[in-house]
C-alpha cells in the first residue's frame, strides 16, 4: 500500500466515522497517575513500598486494573481494614 493510498483510506474512515477512526490514549495521564500512586505510598510511611503495592502499580501500568482500583488497593494496604 502506498502512502497516498494509506492517507486516502484514513480520510475515508474519518468521513465514515465522523472523527478519528481510532482511540487516542493520553500517555501523560497514566504517568501522572503512577506518580500519584507512588506519592500515596511514600506519604503513608516513607519506606520502601510493600511488594503488594508494587504489584498493584505494575498491574496498573500494564492496563490490567484502572487507576481507582490501584489507588483503593494501595490505600487498603495501609489501613487496619484488611
- Residues 55-75, buried b or exposed e (16+ Cβ, 10 A)? ebbeebeeeebeeeebbebbe
* CB distance 29 to 54 below 8 Å: no
Confidence of residue 56 (pLDDT cuts 50, 70, 90): confident
Question: Which stretches within the chain are classed as H helix?
Answer: 3-17, 27-45, 51-62, 67-77
| Percent of the residues in the chain that have a pLDDT greater than 90, as a whole number | 0
CB count in 10 Å sphere of residue 19: 9
Q: Region 65-80: what's the mean pLDDT?
A: 81
Amino acid at each position: 500500500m502506498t502512502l497516498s493510498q494509506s492517507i486516502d483510506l484514513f480520510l475515508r474512515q474519518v468521513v465514515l466515522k465522523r472523527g478519528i477512526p481510532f482511540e487516542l490514549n493520553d500517555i501523560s495521564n497514566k504517568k501522572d497517575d503512577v506518580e500519584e500512586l507512588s506519592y500515596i505510598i511514600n506519604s503513608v510511611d516513607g519506606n520502601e513500598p510493600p511488594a503488594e503495592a508494587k504489584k498493584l502499580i505494575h498491574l496498573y501500568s500494564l492496563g490490567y486494573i484502572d487507576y481507582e482500583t490501584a489507588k483503593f488497593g494501595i490505600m487498603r494496604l495501609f489501613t487496619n481494614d484488611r
